[in-house]
Amino acid sequence: MRIVIAEDSVLLREGLIRLLTMAGLEVVDTCGDAEALLRSVEEHQPDLAIVDVRMPPGQSEEGLRAALVIRREWPSVAVLVLSQYVEERYATELLSGVTSKVGYLLKDRVADVAEFVAALRRVADGGTALDPEVVAQLLVRRDNDPLGRLTAREREVLALMAEGRSNTGVAAALVISESAVAKHINSIFTKLGLGMIDTDHRRVLAVLRFLESGT
């Protein structure tokens, strides 16, 4: 996997290079600002871009804006956005439209190298990775929408789905059978009004449903 890193913190950038190289991944370029990131993606056409939300010159949402440009101009390039804090609006904007090859994680997740690398691979392979803290904050606020009909267990399952976990991964995390997970997921689809379409797409739509209802 070929990766471009856009991060203005030299310490974090060097740390990412080190851990990704140790994991057998290739870092083809690093950037300190959003404009350099776009030039790098155009030149290197990487498999994945790791992008900080807040970057120079404004330290606002330049990184996110660049990530959105990448998704529009180079759809074959997967994008994983890193953020210091939970910023729900950014997660919603990033996940709107095309719902594959995209992730939004807090920087704290980098510390768990195995999970972080697994998330990178999942996103590069066409999946999604959404930070559980984002999921938790969004689910807590749900009162007058279809998510309010979900049981506590169904919310747990949905949160794990949002992290990009398979049925097997959800079952392992909750210590329940895969058949029980399948039943919970079918119930979630029904309560959210997601009809009989492609199962993988419905999983993403289920996550997007509560993201959209929070805007």
Rounded CA separation 209/214 (Å): 9
Residue 210: closest CA among 65, 117, 95:
95
Cα(194)–Cα(3) distance, rounded to whole angstroms?
35
Report which of residues 169 and 209 the model is more confident about. 169
Per-residue model confidence as pLDDT tens digits over 153-203: 998 888 787 777 788 989 998 999 999 999 998 888 888 777 654 454 566
Indicate whether 198 and 173 sit together in one domain: yes
pLDDT given at position 140: 55
Confidence of residue 73 (pLDDT cuts 50, 70, 90): very high
Domain boundary among 129, 153, 173: 129
Question: Among the three residues 105, 129, 153, which one is the final residue of a domain in this structure?
Answer: 129
Average pLDDT of the residues in 45-49:
97
Q: Tell me whether residue 191 is exposed, middle or buried, using C-beta atoms within 10 angstroms of its C-beta: 0 to 12, 13 to 18, 19 or more.
A: middle
Range of the domain at 15: 2-129
CA-to-CA separations, 195 to 188, 189, 202, 209, in angstroms, rounded:
11, 7, 8, 13
Same domain, 80 and 32: yes
- Mean pLDDT, rounded, of the chain: 82
Q: Which is it for the CA torsion 154, 184, 215, 116, positive or negative?
A: positive
pLDDT of residue 48: 97
Q: What is the CATH number of the domain that holds 159?
A: 1.10.10.10
Q: Is the pTM of this model over 0.75?
A: no
List the one residue out of 102, 34, 103 whose CA is nearest residue 72.
Answer: 102
Q: Number of folded domains in the chain?
A: 2
